[in-house]
Chain A
Amino acid sequence: MATSSVSKGCFVFKPSAKKKKKTLDLESYFTDGCEDARSSELRFELCQDLWDQIKTETEILQDELNRKVLDSLLEFTKKCSSIRHHSDWTSQMRASEIPTAALILGVNVTDHDMTFQSLSELLQTSVTPHVASVQAKECGALKHLMKKVLERLMDTVVAVGDDDDDEVEEETEQHHRSVHCSLTTLCDWYSKKTKKSSSGTPGKKRSSLVVNEQQEPPVVIVFKDLEAFNPRVLQDFILVCSRYVQRLPLMFIFGIATAPSTIQHMLPHSVSSLLCIELFQSLSCSQHLTTVIEKLILTHSFPFKLNGKVMQVLVGIFLYHDFSVKNFIKGLQLALLEHFYSQPLSVLCCRKEKALLNLKHLRHDDLERVRQLPSFRRFVEKQEIEEQEKLRTDDSHLKNVCQKLMKDLHKYHKCYYPILRCLHTLTSSLPRYPLGKQIRELHLICLEKNVWEAEEYQSAVNLLKMLAKDELISLLQKCAEILQPIRSTQMKSACVQLEELLSKFQQLDAPATDQSTASEENFTSPVKNLPKKTDLFQLQKTLLESRRSRKKSPFEALRNEALDFIDTLVKSHLSPPESQPLYEVCYYSSSAAVRRHLNAAPRTSIQAALSSPYHYLQNESLKSDDGTVSNSAPDICIAYKLHLECGRLINLYDWLEAYSTVISAAEGTDPDSDGFGKVDEVKHARFIRAVAELEFLGFIKSTKQKTDHVARLTWGGC
């Protein structure tokens, strides 16, 4: 670089601001490797919108679901804090006990964070500013627990009260000397705090949440994961706290993942008698999942869909592995992102009006992509020859057809979900649940194949044909209620028909009295007519005959009519999405990608890398067809391959010999020459490194059973 200086010397050049490396934002990450760069911005926007929608909806859901238990918890804390001021006899008797709420949350520990978050927010806004939550991993000893509690309590106050910064700072300084880390400090701080807030000048601006009606807001300590705490620490902490309960209105909340008996396992009677425990149960995680699926997946208002396999993977991970709703939503997010990232036609995956608009702006190569879609090809093949030709060549015609198809797809979704719900209401109470207890199971069946061809469907219909009148009527009424609010002409007419059926059922009631008795007579007479002596076979035969010959009662006729009606509804609306042209636009179908991302199998991939290095290294010379490892593979692969041939114990020297033979072959040494297979220093070193690497990966370990042997840690092999 040039300088204006005449003398020699060192010059510092600051890089100009422009040259600073531009940090990539989310969008450019998305658009970078995207299939079709042009539409990627649009797709990113759509994806972002949908994700925001998911996020807000799930948050609202979470709040709604937790509301009940949180409200009762809140009530409990309020009651506890107010009880101290009453001179009620019972409360006086129990004044020395620390009120404790045991919150049973279920084993999905990852979901608890959100619950605790909203809990402490709620507590802070409506009960007390003094809330401290602690986790087990930060409290290894009583000292640490105490310190964390003190820090959190006083810090929250620093954040809340803005009028006494200096003093608080002084105090925090003080308690940072861990010597002062005792509850006495907290008591002093608390009495100062309450005194101040009660005698505070009214003119001063206050932060919104100081609760002034209560002179003494309780101090709430939340133990997020009770099971993980060291019982000793917890016991000591409770013992210490109980000494201060007269001066400090303490309150505990235990987050319990398993069962309430944990408390008894962890705390001896001498400690648990210091607590006054009340139990709260939160919603079970499977119910939570059901509502999430209900709100996000089983709705036509959410354009992005999962196909059966992906859905299966996500639900499977939930049921088999973690029970975590949070992870389920993460999986949904991944699918969403992948869909918009890899499918250029996903510009059409949005609300109907917008999709039609986007359709108009499609370019030629996008339309080519449409023509490539399997579902569209199937559609084309069904058309007349001329029409087929036109669809293949004329872009504008294609656009028009697509417009109609998109509308059809939306219509399909609009009808699919209500009918699915109807079918679920009808079948979910049947004995042994032929079509599943949960609606998601039915949904999965419907996504896979034509549901009416399934055996389970037949058995469900047969069971429905045996339903009693009042049961059937109530179920049909429920169906009508489901169809009522749907704004679609097809659904409207279906609803009307259903109501008609229902009114027919109702009309049956009026003249039913005499008819039913008649039919009863009909039914009982053959049994009466039986001869006195009869064997089982005879009885069966007569009963069967009577059943066949019996005339159908009007109710039975009507019941069949109703079920036939339901059947036609199912057949016309519950076909799997693959039957719909252009379904690929909305449905994400790569279950393998989702599985790979969410349910990683590290061992499988390590083994894949070791047994077929070509898979990762992409080096042509490593390619082999028959699953053997070529001689030129990395050392560790060869060592791995050789070790597979051994038993539980491996003789290191034999292993080395075999290794050096393979390596010599790879080097192209003449097999008959003297040096072939000889172990030189380099080979020895390479071998030792490979063995060390295998040990690091956990395939072998040194053993004391036999000298110069190593033990295999995996089983199986050649």
Chain B
Amino acid sequence: MTGLLQQPGYDEERLKRVSELLPCREVQAGMLLSLMGQPQQYCYPSVFIYGHRSSGKSHVTNILMEELELPHATVSCVECVSVALLFEQVLLSFFGCDAASLLPRSPSLSDFVRIYRQQSSQFPAEQTRYIVSDTSPELLRDADANLLPALLRLQELVEDNVTVILLSEIVWETFRPNTGCFEPLLLHFPDYSKDELKQVLSKNKHPSYSAEFYSSYINILLGVFYSVCRDLRELRHLAALNFSKFCEPVEAGKAKVGDTHKLWKNIEPHLKKAMRTVYLREVSRCLSAHTHVELPYYSKFLLIAAYLASYNPARTDKRFFVKHHGKIRKTNFLKKNEKTSNHLLGPKPFPLDRLLAIFYSVVDSRVAPTASIFSQISSLVTLQLLVQISHDDQLDAPKYKCAVTLDFISAISRTVNFDIVKYLYDFL
């Protein structure tokens, strides 16, 4: 292979295996490896790797760590709901559980540094230790004011051969604190190009088919989807989903493996169909069948009233809901800033009593203000059809917003024979 990884101090065989496992990322892996230097050498204190989703950041780092058997601790920032968990995981994987149990109940950064030093003096690093912080390290930035700057120069603080690698989807500039900090080395992982994607996807070929057959399939797949989707994970999913359809004619004996044209003819409609549901995953398949939501009768009207309250200006309520409002044209209402459609601006909050007033005027029968009417409002909130704007604790005059679309509400109002468009200010 051309881009074979080379770095003194590591086992040749292993490096070879690594480069086989990292197709199309040889350059980046080589760069990282040369930054890391030889195992016993000190590495740069912190490395910041960034690139889009599924551009191989975690994969490259993990493979390097695992295959070269470097001492490392991989922590997920999402999982570490408190810094304590982060410290604990690092200590656990470097020094075992005894060290982790030394941490006090809610440890501070200096506790961590103290214990780390104490432990590293007992077990000094023979090789560079790596702390890899995976998945959204921006949580580290938001967690504690001095956490990220401290981690960036951890090598200095603990006086040990340790390097922090941050893997991020966003650029370093958004991380830099106002007070300034130690600048890490930046390493960018570019997106895979079309050829690279093809190469990577062809890697996981079906065992019962030849590599050429599979890569011809990938070729077709990329030809269709590359313009809309470059996400490796999604493409891999699509490949797995449609492959059985692709080899159907081969299995049925209708086409030979080499008959590309026939196979293309066969798979094309399936891919076209899959095109409509790219990124939506399985849910979408039966989505259209289930969009209809059944609601109790008064809940429907409550929702309609909420929609009207959200999208009509309060001044116009009189026009819509008072019987003898006289002839009031839309222009009389129009204020200068209201020329834009309310539907473009999104739902507006409204108080409970306005909701009820509209409810009582749209519902055709006399409804007693019973407890279950009010409980229906709160169940609409839990179903996320309404959103409560004011805080839960505010019992007095709560405010809501309607969170459903026009299509949804029209479908609902059709079931109760209510012509909602006639009551909407935008469509007057």
Contacts and interface: CB of A to CB of B under 8 A. Distances in A.
Interface of A: 89-90, 92-94, 102, 104, 106-107, 109, 141-143, 146, 177, 179, 182-184, 225, 227-228, 236, 239-240, 243, 257-265, 269-270, 272-273, 275-279, 281, 284-286, 317-323, 599-604, 698, 701, 713, 715
Contact of B371 (A90, A146, A600): A600
Given A240-B79, A602-B371, 14 more contacts: A89-B207, A107-B293, A143-B81, A179-B103, A258-B383, A259-B290, A260-B290, A270-B53, A276-B282, A286-B294, A319-B297, A323-B295, A599-B371, A701-B397
Interface stretch (B160-168, B182-190, B229-237, B254-262): B229-237
B370 A600 contact: yes
Contact of A142 (B81, B135, B287, B292): B81
Contacts of B281: 272-273, 275-277
8 contacts: A258-B384, A261-B283, A264-B280, A269-B279, A276-B281, A285-B294, A321-B296, A321-B373
A226 B280 CA distance: 18
Contacts of B353: 713
Nearest to A97: B237
B119 interface: no
A321 B372 contact: yes
Contacts of A243: 76, 79, 135
B154 interface: no
B244 interface: yes
A262 B297 CA distance: 22
B218 to A, nearest CB: 13
B259 to A, nearest CB: 22
A29 to B, nearest CB: 25
A262 B204 CA distance: 33
Interface residues of B, number: 59
B294 A323 contact: yes
Interface string B71-89: 0000010110110110011
Contact of A601 (B279, B298, B368): B368
Interface in B63-111: 76, 78-79, 81-82, 84-85, 88-89, 103, 105
B373 to A, nearest CB: 8
B372 A236 contact: no
Contact of A239 (B78, B103, B282, B293): B78
Contacts of B206: 89
A273 B283 CA distance: 11
A93 B384 contact: no
A319 B301 CA distance: 13
A275 B279 CA distance: 12
Contacts of A262: 384
A330 B90 CA distance: 56
Contacts of B382: 109, 225, 227-228
Nearest to B244: A90
Nearest to A274: B233
Contact of B298 (A142, A320, A713): A320
B286 to A, nearest CB: 5
B302 to A, nearest CB: 11
Contact of A90 (B81, B85, B240, B369): B240
Nearest to A146: B81
A177 B281 CA distance: 38
Interface string B133-152: 00100000000000000000
Contact of A258 (B89, B135, B285, B293): B293
A694 to B, nearest CB: 14
Contacts of B379: 107, 109
B81 A604 contact: no
B349 to A, nearest CB: 18
B383 A320 contact: no
B279 A107 contact: no
Nearest to A263: B283
B366 to A, nearest CB: 12
B127 interface: no
A262 B287 CA distance: 11
Contacts of B135: 239, 243
Contact of A277 (B208, B283, B294): B283
B396 interface: yes
Contacts of A107: 293-296, 299, 379, 383
